[in-house]
Amino acid sequence: MRNDAVWVRGVTGIQLHHTTDLQDAGRFLGNAMMALRAAHARTGDDRYSDLVSRLKTLVAETRTLETQARTRLEGLHATDPEQFVRCREGEDPWPDEIQAGFIPRHTCHDRCLYHDHDVLDAILQCTCGRPPCRACAIGGKPEN
């Protein structure tokens, strides 16, 4: 993995692991493959079936990468569930992603289910005592 790229990743909700991106890529490649099969069925043009063959390889490679990433994600959950939660909540970066430029999740717009939304069953989930937003202190206010 290359670590020379630096960019700011401001997280505004839960922080998704790149497994989600790989799922999307596999789904989009699969959709492209089906569309090209349909174009081949309608036209008989072998150029479309050649693309389908190449996409099959890409889909398989993407699924392999997704499986590897999911295995690492599940390993983190099994070995360090507290870090997993911190990563999911956007407090820490995922360990197998580029660390440079990470900014914690903006919590300045979070609302308490109990106090702000009158959900009485949420008394044990009160978030009012959280410290000020670290992301605002590091990277500035989020855009609304």
Say how many C-beta atoms besides its own lie within 10 A of residue 33's C-beta.
Answer: 18
Smallest Cα–Cα separation from 102: which of 3, 21, 1?
3
Can you tell me which residue has the tokens 């700011």?
8
| β-bridge partners, 19 | none
- Average pLDDT (98-127) is 76
Give the pLDDT confidence of 90-111 residue by residue, as tens digits: 889 999 998 888 888 877 777 7
- Average pLDDT (108-117) is 73
CB-neighbour burial class of residue 83 (10 A; exposed 0-12, middle 13-18, buried 19+): middle
Regarding pTM above 0.85, the answer is no
Give the pLDDT confidence of 43-76 residue by residue, as tens digits: 999 999 999 999 999 999 999 999 999 999 999 9
Q: Is the pLDDT of residue 112 over 80?
A: no
Q: Is the pLDDT of residue 36 over 80?
A: yes
| β-bridge partners, 102 | 9
3-state secondary structure of 10: strand
